[in-house]
Amino acid sequence: QEQLVESGGGVVQPGKSLRLSCVASGFTFRSYAMHWVRQAPGKGLEWVATISFHGSDEFYADSVKGRFTISRDNSKNTLSLQMNSLRAEDTAVYYCARLLFSDVAAPMGPLDCWGQGTLVTVSS
Amino acid sequence: DIQMTQSPSSLSASVGDRVTITCQASQDIDNFLNWYQQKPGTAPKLLISDASNLQAGVPSRFSGSGSATVFTFTISSLQSEDIATYYCQQYHTGLNFGGGTKVEIK
C-alpha cells in the first residue's frame, strides 16, 4: 500500500524554525519527484515546494523562498521541509505529495498520493 | 505567474443534477490541468489529469474537458458522496491551484 506519513508539526513562535518530515512506504520513493502543499485554516490549497526525484533540483513558491528548504534522503525514503523565520501566515496543514509519473525529468504535474497532513501553527 | 480562476466558488445542487465547474487560466496552459476532490478533514484526491484523463477507480460520472485557457469539470449525476471542495491545478509553468469550488446538496 502506497503511503506518505508526515510528522513534525506543532505550535511555534514567530521567527522560529520547524522541520517537517514525510516518510514514504509501498513504492520506490527515489523514482518520484515530491512536493509540499499547504492549506491555511478554512482556505484553499497552496503549493509550497518541489524537489526532483534525484534531489538535484528544488523549486519554491515566492511566499517561502529564502526561508524554507526542501530536501530528501532516498536511502531513508524521507522527504523534509526545513522552515525558518516562520510567520503567522505560514500557519497551515502541510501535506507531502507525490508526482503521478515516475522517473521523469519534469517535476511538476498531477499529484496522486498524499499524506494525511501535519498542522503547523505559528503564534506567540 | 499563471493565475487560475475557478467559478463558482460554491454551489448547491440536488442529487442527480448535472454539476459543472469552470477553471480559467490567465494564459495558455495547453492541457496541463488537473482536478482534485477534497472532503472535509482529508487530503485532496486526484480525479482527472491532463484536462480529461480520469484516474483509475474514479467513477465515470466525473469528467473533464478543455484546453488552452478554459476548462470544465462535470459531475453528470451528483451523488451525496460527492459533497466536497473541488480544485483545479495547472502545471504548465510551476504549479498552482485554483481557489476551489465547494459543492453542497440542496
Assess contact for A117 and A36: CB atoms under 8 A. Answer: no
Q: Tell me what pLDDT residue B9 has.
A: 98
Q: What is the 3-state secondary structure (H, E, C) of chain A?
A: CCEEEEECCEEECCCCCEEEEEEEECCCHHHCCEEEEEECCCCCEEEEEEECCCCCCEEECCCCCCCEEEEEECCCCEEEEEECCCCHHHCEEEEEEEECCCCCCCCCCCEEEECCCEEEEECC
Contact flag A115-B43 (C-beta cutoff 8 Å)? yes
Residues of chain B with pLDDT under 70: none
Phi, psi angles (nearest 5°) of residue A96:
-95, 150
User: How far is residue A18's CA from residue B79's CA, in Å, rounded to a whole number?
Assistant: 41
Q: Any residues with CB less than 8 A from the CB of B103 and at least 6 apart, and which?
A: B10, B11, B13, B19, B21, B75, B78, B82, B83, B84, B85, B86
Q: Tell me what pLDDT residue A56 has.
A: 93
Q: Tell me what pLDDT residue B60 has.
A: 98
Test the B interface: residue of A38, A45, A96, A112 with most B CBs within 10 Å: A45
Q: Tell me what pLDDT residue B28 has.
A: 98
Each residue's pLDDT tens digit, A25-78 = 999 999 999 999 999 999 999 999 999 999 999 999 999 999 999 999 999 999
Contact flag B50-A115 (C-beta cutoff 8 Å)? no
Which residue in A37, A108, A114 is closest to B91 by CB distance? A108
- The answer, yes or no, to whether residue A105 has pLDDT greater than 90, is no
Test the A interface: residue of B39, B91, B97 with most A CBs within 10 Å: B91
Q: Tell me what pLDDT residue B31 has.
A: 97
Q: Would an 8 Å CB–CB cutoff place A116 in contact with chain B?
A: yes
Contact flag A108-B95 (C-beta cutoff 8 Å)? yes
Which residue in A100, A108, A114 is closest to B44 by CB distance? A114
Side by side, which strands form the sheet with B19-25? B4-7, B19-25, B70-75, B62-67
Q: Would an 8 Å CB–CB cutoff place A47 in contact with chain B?
A: yes
Query: Pairing between strand A10-12 and A118-122?
Result: parallel
Assess contact for A86 and A18: CB atoms under 8 A. Answer: yes
Burial A27-66, CB ≥16 within 10 A → b, else e: bebbebbbbbbbbeeeeebbbbbbbbbebeeebbbeebee
Q: Tell me what pLDDT residue B67 has.
A: 96
Mean pLDDT for chain A? 97
Q: Which amino acid is at B54?
A: L
Q: Tell me what pLDDT residue A19 has.
A: 98
Would you state the cell numbers that stand for residue A94, as one nine-digit string? 502541510
Q: Would an 8 Å CB–CB cutoff place A50 in contact with chain B?
A: yes
Q: Tell me what pLDDT residue A103 has.
A: 87
Contact flag A109-B46 (C-beta cutoff 8 Å)? no
Each residue's pLDDT tens digit, B59-78 = 999 999 999 999 999 999 99
Which residue in A47, A110, A117 is closest to B96 by CB distance? A47
Contact flag B43-A112 (C-beta cutoff 8 Å)? no
Would you state the cell numbers that stand for residue B39, as one nine-digit string? 472532503
